[in-house]
Homo-oligomer: A and B are copies of this chain.
Amino acid sequence: MEWEDLAKELSQATDSKIVLLVLDGVGGLPVDGRSELEAARKPNLDGLAKRAVCGLSDPVFMGITPGSGPAHLALFGYDPLKYQLGRGILEALGSGVEVGRNDLVARGNFATLRAGLISDRRAGRIPTGENVRICGFLNERLPKRDGVEVKVFPGKEHRFVARFTAEGLSDELTDADPQKEGRPRLPANPVVPGAAKAAAVVNRFLDDLTDVLRTEPKANTALLRGFSKFPSIPTMPELFNLRPAAIANYPMYKGLAKLLGMTVLDVGSEASELFDALEKNYKDHDFFYVHYKKTDSAGEDGKFEAKVAAIEALDTFIPRLTALNPDVLVVTSDHSTPALLCGHSWHPNPFLLVSRTAGVDDVAAFTERACAKGMLGRFRALYAMPLMLAHALKLKKYGA
């Protein structure tokens, strides 16, 4: 019996509230002896640690650096080695594109073709308005072929999502992207024989698109990556008997949340808006995923001081969170993003849990080194969900 089966059998709806605050990429590495969390002045987060049990969690297992998809899946109680979500589906869902069971989606870049070679993989980062115009034009002019419906959806700058609707379109395709400039266009290739139809559909679409856009000065072709079907994944209401809400600004996190059956509450990019939405919707849900992005962005950019500042900025909002007095409050991250590495890393996430049923350990600061001495020890992030459900008294006893 696996955790998911157990979850279905044991979880029960109750009125108790769980808040999972994800400080994206917050875990870091020392620079001049102190990590970002150690350098930040964050009295409220440290105050939470003093009232909490703490630990370190591994998104997948030791040494594995996860993308945002697997890292979040683990936090939401899904084994990231069992469910693999294509980047295309996450981008599509995050952009508000409806995706159904017969849809194949991919992330697109408008690009520039000169003398048969890709001279700019991002079409000079055309303005978003241009992108909207071009997508409208394409949706009007692209020829219909063999009953396959194709639609493109504009994103920011040069980015778009392509959606192909037909029976039997496999997503087992290689990217239609030469990866480097100065190379010719590259078709999508089927990875399995059953994907031949999808490859033909996709490649004809790219040819048609390049033909329709031949007079555009910059965006005169496109690249497609991350072909994905709608994944077969049970929702959080099905698995955990939750009425979950996601409070997030970035498309990918909203898309993933929607996929898992969360209600996505729209918020802007300011931290204050996360807490506005939490307060406003607090009575309507029993699980809140609150996503703070700035820690990760700063880490990705290698900006140690900016990451420290992002932590300090977030810290000032913690009193609004504790004022709600949720039955279970967890602060952690999906993965670490040390400024030192300018990207995601395999380091475990500091984790704190406050609950009436959790007790308190000796950890007095929300940092990597302090949490390593916490009572929760080191554990797979997959177990965060059973732990949260248990402390919310939402899990019945297993066996007699």
Question: Which residue on chain B has the smallest CB distance to residue A372?
Answer: B375
Bound Cα distance A29, B361 (Å): 11
Asked if residues A386 and B69 are in contact (CB atoms below 8 Å), the reply is no
Asked if residues A395 and B69 are in contact (CB atoms below 8 Å), the reply is no
Asked if residues A67 and B344 are in contact (CB atoms below 8 Å), the reply is no
Bound Cα distance A62, B77 (Å): 12
A148 cross-chain contacts in B, Cβ below 8 A: none
The 0/1 profile, CB within 8 Å of B marked 1, for residues 380-400 of chain A is 000101111111000111111
Contact of A81 with B by CB under 8 A: yes
Chain B interface: which of A84-92, A243-251, A304-312? A84-92
Q: Can you name 28 A-B residue pairings with CB atoms under 8 Å?
A: A1-B81, A6-B64, A56-B375, A61-B383, A62-B376, A62-B383, A63-B383, A63-B385, A63-B386, A63-B395, A64-B398, A65-B397, A66-B398, A66-B399, A67-B397, A68-B400, A69-B399, A69-B400, A85-B399, A87-B400, A91-B400, A340-B357, A346-B395, A359-B368, A359-B369, A361-B369, A361-B372, A378-B379
A29 cross-chain contacts in B, Cβ below 8 A: 357, 359
Contact of A321 with B by CB under 8 A: no
Give the oligomeric copy count.
2
Tell me, rounded to whole Å, the shortest Cβ–Cβ distance linking A295 to chain B: 18
A105 cross-chain contacts in B, Cβ below 8 A: none
Asked if residues B400 and A90 are in contact (CB atoms below 8 Å), the reply is yes
A386 cross-chain contacts in B, Cβ below 8 A: 61-64, 346
Tell me, rounded to whole Å, the shortest Cβ–Cβ distance linking A58 to chain B: 9
Question: Which residue on chain B has the smallest CB distance to residue A379?
Answer: B62
User: Could you say which interface size class chain A belongs to?
Assistant: 35 or more
The 0/1 profile, CB within 8 Å of B marked 1, for residues 87-109 of chain A is 10011000000000000000000
Given known pairs A377-B372, A386-B62, the reply for A70 and B398 (CB within 8 Å) is yes
Question: Which residue on chain B has the smallest CB distance to residue A377?
Answer: B378
Bound Cα distance A85, B390 (Å): 23
Query: A-B pairs with the 6 shortest C-beta distances?
Result: A63-B386, A377-B378, A63-B390, A67-B399, A62-B383, A70-B399
Tell me, rounded to whole Å, the shortest Cβ–Cβ distance linking A328 to chain B: 11
Contact of A345 with B by CB under 8 A: yes
The 0/1 profile, CB within 8 Å of B marked 1, for residues 106-149 of chain A is 00000000000000000000000000000000000000000000
Asked if residues A84 and B1 are in contact (CB atoms below 8 Å), the reply is yes
Contact of A80 with B by CB under 8 A: yes
The 0/1 profile, CB within 8 Å of B marked 1, for residues 14-30 of chain A is 00000000000000011
Given known pairs A70-B399, A399-B85, the reply for A30 and B360 (CB within 8 Å) is yes
Bound Cα distance A82, B400 (Å): 15
Residue among A80, A375, A395 with the highest chain B CB neighbour number at 10 A: A375
Residue among A60, A68, A399 with the highest chain B CB neighbour number at 10 A: A399
